[in-house]
Amino acid sequence: MTMDCGKLFVTTAVILLIGFVKLANSTVQPASVNPLTLEKMGLILRAKQLSVNVYYGNNNDGDFNTNCEDDSAVCTLESGDDFGTDAGVDRVYLVDEGGYCTVAFKGSEPPNPDPNSPGWNDWVEQNFDTANTYTVQDGNGNSCGVQGGFFDAYVGRSNRNQGTGYQRNVESWIENCMESRGERQLVFTGHSQGGSAATIAGIIHAQYDPITINFGAPPVIVRNGNTPPCNWPVGEHFWRIINTEMDSGYGGMDYDPAPFLGSLLDTWHVGSSIILQPDTTPTAAKYIDASNPERYQSFAYFDADFTAHDPGFYEDRIKALYTYATQQNGPIDLSGFPNGSGCRYTSECSSNRCDWDSNNPVTSVSRCFAKVRRGGWCNEDSDCRSNNCRWWYKCG
């Protein structure tokens, strides 16, 4: 098996189109995503760009990089029969860039109604394989039980063809990049299924203390009684990004449904969460620390048409937030969404008040509002700064 050199990450036209991020000279170190500094925001956007490009095959510009030894090069391992799966279904980018060794895993193919198609096998087998589990270990001997289909996505193989995959090639590249080229920071990333594979990679390679950035990824850690407990990974080094959108017909803000699949797959998340603000020009986000990774497991408010799951939508939202951070030259507010933004829970608002924007239960949507001062009108305690809405509907 050989490592093929891939296409260049961007051309000038693409730089102008998607706002290519040049990573800062100072490498982001493993830490909590909070505070969300400009440097961390740039790393998240770069990871998002790579997770999009590995899915679509770079930028479809036809330019190939012929020198994979260059530090700015992008190399690929593309799957095929020799890796044990259908060509193009599983793919990974290996990127040696500046102070980072980045591994970006491709998301799943769209479901195809033909059960013999690569897309059907990839989407059903790898995303919903609850029958098989694997116990993975890091270099220090710690173990975790993970969902079988997502482990196959990490390896680069399918249930139908249990080949060796490209795991050995990827792990050899990681070792070389991390140990033979000076001080580097290891980063794993991916969108959807690719983000789940990245999470498994972050667990397996924990001895390198990587930063794992996944976008709209389903959880991977199995939670039945037949596998070892898995509470040792450093959760704050796993940055989970969850997109949202406004749906005026159903009460307001909805979530990307993929991160909510734990109740269906019987799996747990690991890591902290960043909930993206449901606005085209976001100015803030909501951070949830790693001590409560299951905060968003309910299917109560999910985006039924999967629009919020679209990788390009994620990229647009993250790019807009990065642009705002650049203009402010400071960290992003992670205390919650500003007044006027859509919301579902009071904790998502910096004001701690999420309420209907009208008295009409059919047309109103939930938005963040400022708390009401003493004497102002209210209908529940959470409306008031005093948290006391008296029986005559005024804040005490």
Indicate if the pLDDT at residue 19 is higher than 50: no
Count of other CB atoms within 10 angstroms of residue 366 = 22
* Confidence bin at 7 (pLDDT 50/70/90): very low
**Average pLDDT score over residue span 103-123:** 76
Indicate if the pLDDT at residue 108 is higher than 60: yes
Indicate if the pLDDT at residue 105 is higher than 90: yes
Tokens for 345, please give them. 């829970």
pLDDT reported for residue 8: 26
Q: Pick 238 or 114 by higher pLDDT.
A: 238
**Average pLDDT score over residue span 82-111:** 83
Q: If you average pLDDT over each of 26-30, 82-86, 246-250, which comes out highest?
A: 26-30
Decide if 86 contacts 117 (C-beta within 8 A). no
pLDDT reported for residue 298: 58
pLDDT in tens, 199-229: 999 999 999 999 999 999 999 999 876 666 7
Tokens for 17, please give them. 């189109």
pTM above 0.85, yes or no: yes
**Nearest residue to 9 (alpha-carbon basis) of 40, 47, 39, 38:** 47
Alpha helices in 105-190 (DSSP H): 118-120, 127, 148-155, 167-179
Beta-bridged to residue 368, according to DSSP, are: 354
Q: Which domains does the chain have, with CATH numbers?
A: 4-350 (3.40.50.1820)
pLDDT in tens, 271-323: 999 999 999 999 999 999 998 777 665 556 666 678 899 999 999 999 999 99
| C-alpha dihedral sign at 251, 369, 294, 274 | positive
* Range of lowest pLDDT (13-17, 19-23, 64-68, 164-168): 13-17
Task: Supply the mean pLDDT for the chain.
Answer: 82
Q: Helix or strand or coil: residue 111?
A: coil
Q: Which helix (H) or strand (E) covers residue 204, if one does?
A: helix 193-204
Q: Pick 264 or 143 by higher pLDDT.
A: 143
The structure tokens 């005093």 sit at 386
The string of DSSP letters for 40-74 reads HHHHHHHHHHHHHHHHHTTTS---B-S-TTSTT-E
Q: Pick 381 or 191 by higher pLDDT.
A: 191
Q: Pick 78 or 215 by higher pLDDT.
A: 215
pLDDT in tens, 146-185: 999 999 899 988 766 666 788 999 999 999 999 876 788 9
